[in-house]
Structure 1
Amino acid sequence: MHAAIVFLPLTGFLIAGIFGRVIGARASEIITTTLLFVAAIFSWITFVQVGLGPGKVPTEVIASWFNSGILQVDWALRIDTLTAVMLVVVTSVSALVHLYSIGYMHEDPSRSRFFAYLSLFTFTMLSLVTADNLVQMFFGWEGVGLASYLLIGFWYTKPSACAAAIKAFVANRVGDFGFLLGIFLVFILTRSVSFDQIFAAAPGLAGKHLFVFGNDFDALTITCLLLFMGAMGKSAQFLLHTWLPDAMEGPTPVSALIHAATMVTAGVFMVARLSPLFEQAPDASTFVIIIGATTAFFAATVGLVQNDIKRVIAYSTCSQLGYMFVALGVGAYSVGVFHLFTHAFFKALLFLGAGSVIHAMHHEQDMRMMGALRSRIPFTYWMMVLGTLALTGFPLTAGYFSKDAIIEAAFASHHTGAMYGYVATVVAAGLTSFYSWRLVFMTFFGPAKWGADAEVVHELAHDGLATAGAHGGHAADDHGHDDHGHGHALDPHEPPLVMRLPLLILGAGALFAGLLFAHLFIGEGYEGFWKGALFTGPDNHILHAMEEIPRLAGLMPTIMMLLGFLVALYVYILRPGTAHSWAQTNPIIYNFLLHKWYFDEIYNLLLIRPIFWLGRVFWKRGDLGTIDRFGPDGVSAAVVDVTRRVVKLQTGYIYHYAFAMLIGVAAIVTYYVVGGVH
């Protein structure tokens, strides 16, 4: 059954990818979706058996991959509680995205290719989370990078989609380089890539040093920092985050699958899986806290002013991933994984809900072109509200149990950097509530900015943040829309049942996942549920310390959530002109946030332009000007020149040839006469 979970999506990929044109798009949709639902059912069975059953399932060796000296790598399935949680997340969200895509992509002529790519991504992600060694994990790691490239650039005729796909691929390669170096160091230190052997050797590595660049460094600190570099790229953390918002160029179901629930959480899973190493490297854990907290705050500030509905949710994803890393950094690994679990439901719900809005608006993504949609698409409206409540941490929703627990863990921790993590996440909670309700109010409330008056509103939309986003806030770079750009919707309508059903299921998860599973992930059922799948050192009592923090510190996330809601209500409902006034009063701050702290511009100035300049120098002066000029091109030019001169002797006139013969005879006679004298 466990092997079937991994290889059923691969089977769907092969069928749809190879035979898609033969069997047709409809058959490809049905086959891949059915296989994913079967895999999801098997995953939930595994979750119950492993998480609620007697213990870890013995590692299942599928095949011997390769042997090289002392390095032996098997393709094996490690099925413990952490794996079971990820199996449920990946297969459940993927199955619902497949089902949703049947309705969302029904007009696309390349549906077979799309569903093949979805299944390929799911297979590689499952390969990653079931890995029993670092090499197999790296295979899945690179596989999801390839699949994301294909899915982000699915509409390859759009230049913006191609650019976004390349950007995501390159940015991930930067992080993957560090991850690969980290794997090399792990092998050098432990002489193995197998998790069991690595974890057994981890306590003995404490205090060991590496001599690098003339200095001694703590071996595990360097190793964990390199491994975390890979997580920073895959999970779009601060400094390596720029690819995630641009990845919204892919179809909306791709955003829900890759950039909300699965691929971007691969870094979180990796750090949780390698908790025995990070527990022995407190300095590396401090770095994890700082990067996670900075990401949570940074992405929340940028989300305040974005106008593309998908980009707002994308920055929300980036921010929530920062929360997860704060939890991992303070040693609350189960809390971080719990937020990964709940976040998958409500963030996939928000992305697919945004897709329903885009579908209703004929592929319009700019929130300034929306408004007053709650009466036209009430089901989508309530699903978006439910997702927003869960995201902002409204009491008893999924986010309330997991996100608030992260903030409490940061306050309770005595780890270096933990208080910075607490302050940053509390502030981010207020900002999250503001931009989340801003999305709801701009999309579903206020005057309708579509229909007969759409063009008038479109012109006015350039003037301010309240209805548009002042000072260049119009998402010109985003206006390719989610599909082919069908103009403004004249009659917004609810999506078909095949799109509404996944929203309903995800809505149930966003509402009840925290309530149902909190006691297992972080409560009294912790030991019986995890069964050692997450390692915590003997001095790690973070879950107990969380229960003893001051009441006010624990209430701060809820207070900030309410404050963010009230500010958004005032700005966008009670006093609609307020946001426009703020934007005009503080243009520097507004443009700073609107341009995402100018990271793209800074990277373009400091990295991209110099790299392109250096490339042109090597190309024109090095390759063409030197190597080719004096090498192959030079030799061939000399040969051609000599040949051209020799050809001139071939005139075709007999008397020219006779004359040449006479000269030759005269030269020979002269040689012998002169030689004979001597």
Structure 2
Amino acid sequence: MEYTLFILLFPLASFLIVGLLSNKLSHKASGLIGTTSLTVVTLLSYYTAWAYFTTQKIDGVYQSLTVLNTTWLRVGANLHIDMGILLDPISVMMLVVISTVSLMVHIYSLGYMKGEVGFQRYYSFLSLFTFSMMGLVLATNIFQMYIFWELVGVSSYLLIGFYYTKPAAIAASKKAFIVTRFADMFFLIGILVLSYFTQTFDFGILMSGDASIFSSAIGSSFLGASALVWAMALIFIGGAGKSAMFPLHIWLPDAMEGPTPVSALIHAATMVVAGVYLVARLFPIYIGFTPEVLHGIAYVGAFTSLFAAIIAIAQTDIKRVLAFSTISQIGFMMVALGVSKLEGHEGLGYMSSMFHLFTHAMFKALLFLGAGSIIHAVHSNEMKDMGSLRKYMPVTHWTFLIACLAIAGIPPFSGFVSKDEILTAAFHFSNGMGIWMTVTAGLTAFYMFRLYYNIFWGKATNYTHIPHESPVSMTFPLVFLAIPTVLGGFIPFGHFVTADRADYTIHLDWTIATVSIILAVVGIVIATVLYRKPSDVPNRIANSIRGFHQAAYHRFYIDEIYLFITKKIIFNCVSRPLAWFDRHIVDGFINGLASATDWVSIRIRGFQSGEIQWYAYVFLFGTLLITALLLFI
């Protein structure tokens, strides 16, 4: 399968060609190059998935296949950083997800970004992101993953800040970059600790299950925890930053300042699930040697999912509702990994996490692209500027409704099956976890249909111009993504991706499924009563809990807390004293030394005047002084 190298080379070539020749290429040519490149990548990814899943199963277990691997840099006697391509069930699944969503975004952007200044730059950055994300999931070792991980961060920064003349977009791109780089610092430290004790970066060795590899890391401890526990916890912090887990979630809502197709690509389907992929990639280590860290991941995911769902209920910007929805759904995936075991029925959580990653990528990309179609029509992100759009935008309406039903967990849509399996795994872990996640799932149904009714029903806004359906380049991706959203739940996903790589047949627990369906229907009914027709009841309810509602609307003031800590504490109490010490003590000492040297040099420069008489005088005076000292001492 050496041809898989072209999955990386095509988007890289597209990035270089469109980026370097942007001044010479027309908008149409740039879009055509980028879209054609991604079409080839998508076809190669689909073919790779078919070839892998039909040929790499031996004795009922899928094998890892290292297609390419070459040593790039040696960093010690045993340690070396390799570059290569690793195919296994989760990397192949991610190829399909990334290529599909990226291709739809490329096609969609032909219409959405038409006429934008910097159109060529936009397509160049899209290709760079796709290349980076593909390199991340195909990495053969954790350091290669880290390199492409950082490239994904750079791509995100460039795409979020695409509207570089817009202060909010620039602030959002810097915020995303700084927060994720802060988390990545811990990721790098974790990699260094892990590799120091294991003397390898290679996934094949790390995932082998050989306990002797980790014996020294387990035997060394710090503050009551082994070095391996510290390493895996630090690595997860990097994943938590990229996947916007609390309290590192603050960058994702602001990232909505970028173009809406970027939100669909980066912040719904690919970049933000990189943290989930990281935990899944290292799952054998987590479950085999650091289960306490894995359980901690589950609790972080559970809190984040409910926390983000509550905030989503109070938001009025449609993209920010979807942003917090994304944070919540990624929390579901983290919970599923955190409560999972390795084999058979106990490995349900792992399979359901990957299944939900797959289904969520499709229907969340559909929701974001649908939101872009709506914004394209009404020129606003605010729900107050929308209403009754189903009359004007039938394709967008029906595809958006399908996605809402999927994320709400209504059968037979894809989100129902994948989310129900997560709930089942959560109940197997503990009743408390199961109830927590089931309630969160009910809230999901409510806030999504609050969004749906405010956009497509309710009171028709006095539009300055009559809204109209988007062009075919934008509606085609909506229809295409609606297909896996409807049918994705029927994929026998357990026959492709599991923790032990053996077949797992999905069996719905109808007791849990029935409860989740009832809660989803209740959430939809409440949203229907409150928002389908104009009513002042929602405002009255909000006013009755005004303090809590305002806190949720302001994201529970987490951003303000960060600003207080950074500006009032770190800047004022730490940075300012350090700056004063640097200016007055360090610089003062150096400047004083320079001034003293200058003063002395001025005083003694006469000794080098070039006058022979003066040199003779000094010579004679020195001779007499030395003679006197010899006589009297």
Normalising by the residue count of structure 2, what TM-score does the alignment of the two structures yield? 0.89
Q: Does 2:435 match 1:433? A: no
Q: 2:239: which partner in 1? A: 231
Compared with structure 1, are the counterparts of its residues 26 and 645 closer, same or farther at alpha carbon in structure 2 (3 Å cutoff)?
Answer: farther
Q: Which moved more, 1:204-213 or 1:129-138?
A: 204-213
Q: Where do residues 479-628 of structure 1 align in structure 2 (5 Å cutoff)?
A: 489-515=464-490, 517=491, 519=492, 521-522=493-494, 526=495, 529-530=496-497, 534-535=499-500, 547=507, 551-574=510-533, 576-614=535-573, 616-617=575-576, 620-628=579-587
Q: Does 2:66 match 1:59? A: yes
Compared with structure 1, are the counterparts of its residues 608 and 512 closer, same or farther at alpha carbon in structure 2 (3 Å cutoff)?
Answer: farther
Q: Does 2:582 match 1:630? A: no
Which secondary structure state, in structure 2, belongs to the residue aligned with residue 276 of structure 1? helix
Partners of 1:635 and 1:143 in 2: CA distance: 45
Give the alignment partner of residue 137 of structure 1, picking from 131, 145, 149. Answer: 145
Q: 2:390: which partner in 1? A: 374
Which secondary structure state, in structure 1, belongs to the residue aligned with residue 467 of structure 2? coil
Q: 2:96 corresponds to which letter in structure 1? A: V
Give the alignment partner of residue 422 of structure 1, picking from 434, 438, 458. Answer: 434
Partners of 1:576 and 1:161 in 2: CA distance: 34
Partners of 1:10 and 1:162 in 2: CA distance: 25
Q: 1:626 corresponds to which letter in structure 2? A: I
Which secondary structure state, in structure 1, belongs to the residue aligned with residue 82 of structure 2? strand
Summarize deviations over 1:288-314 as a string: whole Å, max 9, x none: 110111111111000001011100000
Q: 1:464: which partner in 2? A: none
Q: Does 2:461 match 1:449? A: yes
Partners of 1:548 and 1:374 in 2: CA distance: 34
Q: 2:262: which partner in 1? A: 254
1:271, distance to aligned residue in structure 2 (A) = 1.0
1:102, distance to aligned residue in structure 2 (A) = 1.2
Q: 1:403: which partner in 2? A: 419
1:216, distance to aligned residue in structure 2 (A) = 4.1
Q: Does 2:304 match 1:292? A: no
Q: Where do residues 458-473 of structure 1 align in structure 2 (5 Å cutoff)?
A: none
Q: Where do residues 277-426 of structure 1 align in structure 2 (5 Å cutoff)?
A: 277-280=285-288, 281-331=290-340, 332-362=349-379, 364-413=380-429, 418-426=430-438
Partners of 2:393 and 2:619 in 1: CA distance: 107
Partners of 1:149 and 1:436 in 2: CA distance: 28
Q: Where do residues 56-135 of structure 1 align in structure 2 (5 Å cutoff)?
A: 56=63, 58-61=65-68, 63-67=70-74, 68-135=76-143
Q: Is the 8 A contact 1:290 1:420 kept in 2?
A: no
Partners of 1:296 and 1:230 in 2: CA distance: 18
Q: Runs (4+) of structure 1 moved beyond 6 Å?
A: 639-647, 667-672, 674-678
Q: 2:367 corresponds to which letter in structure 1? A: L
Q: Is the 8 A contact 1:206 1:220 kept in 2?
A: no
Q: Is the 8 A contact 1:125 1:140 kept in 2?
A: yes
Aligned residues: 606
1:206, distance to aligned residue in structure 2 (A) = 7.7
Q: Is the 8 A contact 1:209 1:216 kept in 2?
A: no
1:606, distance to aligned residue in structure 2 (A) = 2.6
Q: Is the 8 A contact 1:279 1:536 kept in 2?
A: no
Q: 1:423 corresponds to which letter in structure 2? A: I
Compared with structure 1, are the counterparts of its residues 258 and 640 closer, same or farther at alpha carbon in structure 2 (3 Å cutoff)?
Answer: same
1:29, distance to aligned residue in structure 2 (A) = 1.2
Unaligned runs of 5+ in 1: 452-488, 648-656
Summarize deviations over 1:379-424 as a string: whole Å, max 9, x none: 11111111111111110111011111111111123xxxx4333122
Compared with structure 1, are the counterparts of its residues 107 and 639 closer, same or farther at alpha carbon in structure 2 (3 Å cutoff)?
Answer: farther
Q: Where do residues 156-305 of structure 1 align in structure 2 (5 Å cutoff)?
A: 156-204=164-212, 205=214, 209-213=218-222, 215-280=223-288, 281-305=290-314
Partners of 2:13 and 2:64 in 1: CA distance: 24
Partners of 2:41 and 2:544 in 1: CA distance: 54
Q: Which moved more, 1:258-267 or 1:364-373?
A: 364-373
Partners of 1:669 and 1:422 in 2: CA distance: 97
Q: 1:462: which partner in 2? A: none
Which secondary structure state, in structure 1, belongs to the residue aligned with residue 208 of structure 2? helix
Compared with structure 1, are the counterparts of its residues 351 and 206 closer, same or farther at alpha carbon in structure 2 (3 Å cutoff)?
Answer: farther
Partners of 2:425 and 2:619 in 1: CA distance: 107
Partners of 2:31 and 2:235 in 1: CA distance: 37
Partners of 2:595 and 2:193 in 1: CA distance: 50
Q: 2:18: which partner in 1? A: 16
Compared with structure 1, are the counterparts of its residues 219 and 643 closer, same or farther at alpha carbon in structure 2 (3 Å cutoff)?
Answer: closer
Partners of 2:365 and 2:86 in 1: CA distance: 26
Unaligned runs of 5+ in 2: 58-62, 341-348
1:223, distance to aligned residue in structure 2 (A) = 2.9
Normalising by the residue count of structure 1, what TM-score does the alignment of the two structures yield? 0.83
Partners of 2:618 and 2:228 in 1: CA distance: 84
Partners of 2:227 and 2:319 in 1: CA distance: 41
1:366, distance to aligned residue in structure 2 (A) = 0.7
Q: 2:370 corresponds to which letter in structure 1? A: G
Q: Is the 8 A contact 2:420 2:512 kept in 1?
A: no
Summarize deviations over 1:582-622 as a string: whole Å, max 9, x none: 11111111112111122111222234432222564256412
Which secondary structure state, in structure 2, belongs to the residue aligned with residue 610 of structure 1? helix
Give the alignment partner of residue 158 of structure 2, picking from 111, 136, 150. Answer: 150
Q: Is the 8 A contact 2:454 2:531 kept in 1?
A: yes
Q: 2:6: which partner in 1? A: 4
Q: Which moved more, 1:602-611 or 1:237-246?
A: 602-611
Q: Is the 8 A contact 1:310 1:351 kept in 2?
A: yes
Q: 2:177 corresponds to which letter in structure 1? A: F
Compared with structure 1, are the counterparts of its residues 500 and 604 closer, same or farther at alpha carbon in structure 2 (3 Å cutoff)?
Answer: same
Q: Is the 8 A contact 2:69 2:140 kept in 1?
A: no
Q: Is the 8 A contact 1:202 1:276 kept in 2?
A: no
Summarize deviations over 1:405-453 as a string: whole Å, max 9, x none: 111111123xxxx4333122111111111110111111111222242xx
Q: Where do residues 38-49 of structure 1 align in structure 2 (5 Å cutoff)?
A: 38-49=40-51
Partners of 2:488 and 2:78 in 1: CA distance: 45
Q: Is the 8 A contact 1:154 1:161 kept in 2?
A: yes
Partners of 1:179 and 1:2 in 2: CA distance: 28
1:669, distance to aligned residue in structure 2 (A) = 14
Q: Is the 8 A contact 1:376 1:494 kept in 2?
A: yes
1:76, distance to aligned residue in structure 2 (A) = 1.0
1:188, distance to aligned residue in structure 2 (A) = 3.0
1:209, distance to aligned residue in structure 2 (A) = 3.1
Q: 2:38 corresponds to which letter in structure 1? A: L
RMSD: 2.9
1:640, distance to aligned residue in structure 2 (A) = 7.2
1:637, distance to aligned residue in structure 2 (A) = 5.2
1:28, distance to aligned residue in structure 2 (A) = 1.4
